[in-house]
Amino acid sequence: MTLNLSFDEVLTTTRSVRKRLDFDKPVSRDLLMECLDLALQAPTGSNTQGWQWVFVEDEDKKKAIGEIYLANARGYLSAPGPEYAEGDTRGERMGAVKDSASYLAEHMHEAPVLMIPCIKGREDSSPLGGVSFWASLFPAVWSFCLALRSRELGSCWTTLHLLRGGEEKVADILGIPFEKYSQGGLFPIAYTKGTDFKPAKRLPAADLTHWNGW
């Protein structure tokens, strides 16, 4: 089923969903492939299309990946976060963000499907590197998230499994050729508990904008 959302509504209400992921409702492969077909229309440098997409349904593999993610998340989430001035909405939300991130870390393996997007090559050995390297993957990844939202599904772009050798461990679990492909994140995918997501509080665009120079 496709939600009756306008283009602007999809853009402004596609949230990082953690506590509202429904771990009990299965997600069909056909629906995931439908979303991926849409995502693959995204731009890709020189039309290389060097992306690969790994979906994980196997319970044992999800559990193993979840353990790697949780171990890294514990250290990261226990560290002091950034400090914001009084009245800054980012500071006001930090407690809730950490709480939901901890929840997801504890339950990552319970998601019906985990997805890892990969791009051919390694950033440190690429002639482009940095932004140019990832620019051929990330537009498609976000298009995939938007497609999920329009179909009553949710996810959260996480990267903590990549730390402390975790990327190579996950590559071993899934048979991803580590020297040839880089992982761009770990996405739990599930139907959402309700679909009434709203725009988030963000800093005003006027405070972040520069014209003809900084």
- What confidence tens digit (pLDDT) does each residue in 144-159 have? 999 999 999 999 999 9
Torsion sign (Cα): 35, 152, 137, 120: negative
76, 80, 128: which is closest to 105 by C-alpha? Answer: 76
CATH 3.40.109.10 fits 28-41+49-78+98-193, yes or no: yes
Q: For 42-79, how does the pLDDT look when each residue is reduced to its tens digit (9 = 90+)?
A: 999 889 999 999 999 999 999 999 999 999 999 888 76
State the pTM of this model.
0.93
Euclidean distance between CA atoms 55 and 59, whole angstroms: 12
Residue ranges of domains in the chain? 28-41+49-78+98-193
Q: Which amino acid is at 168?
A: E
